């Protein structure tokens, strides 16, 4: 998850991160380890939601987490984004 957040932060500035983002958009399977382990800043929560929203119908997603889904809104500091994200993942 940390690598993804770093990619979201730098994809507008680094060509390599832009290419990685585009590669992930085309992937058949994405595995995200330790999702919601740490709280996300609002802009990163939105970026993560937008990414999942783009791929959830065409890509298989495997996640690991130690947080209950009801705790995700605290980690994202936004109940609406947490609900929408869970909707796409579940």
Lookup: tokens for 64: 């690991």
Domain boundaries along the sequence of the chain:
28-90
Question: What span, in angstroms and rounded, lies between the C-alpha atoms of 42 and 25?
Answer: 22
Q: Do 25 and 55 touch, CB atoms closer than 8 A?
A: yes
DSSP-derived secondary structure for 47-80: HHHHHHHHHTTTSEEEE--SS-GGGHHHHHT-HH
Stated pTM of the model? 0.91
Cα atoms in the 13 Å half-sphere on the side-chain side of 60: 3
Q: Which residues of the chain have pLDDT under 70?
A: none
User: Number of C-alpha atoms within 13 angstroms, CB side, residue 34?
Assistant: 9
């Amino acid at each position: 998850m940390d690598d993804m957040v770093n990619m979201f932060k730098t994809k507008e500035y680094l060509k390599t991160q832009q290419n990685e983002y585009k590669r992930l958009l085309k992937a058949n399977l994405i595995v995200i380890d330790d999702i919601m382990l740490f709280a996300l800043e609002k802009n990163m929560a939105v970026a993560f939601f937008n990414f999942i929203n783009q791929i959830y119908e065409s890509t298989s997603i495997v996640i690991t987490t130690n947080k209950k889904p009801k705790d995700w809104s605290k980690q994202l500091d936004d109940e609406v984004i947490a609900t929408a994200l869970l909707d796409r993942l579940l």
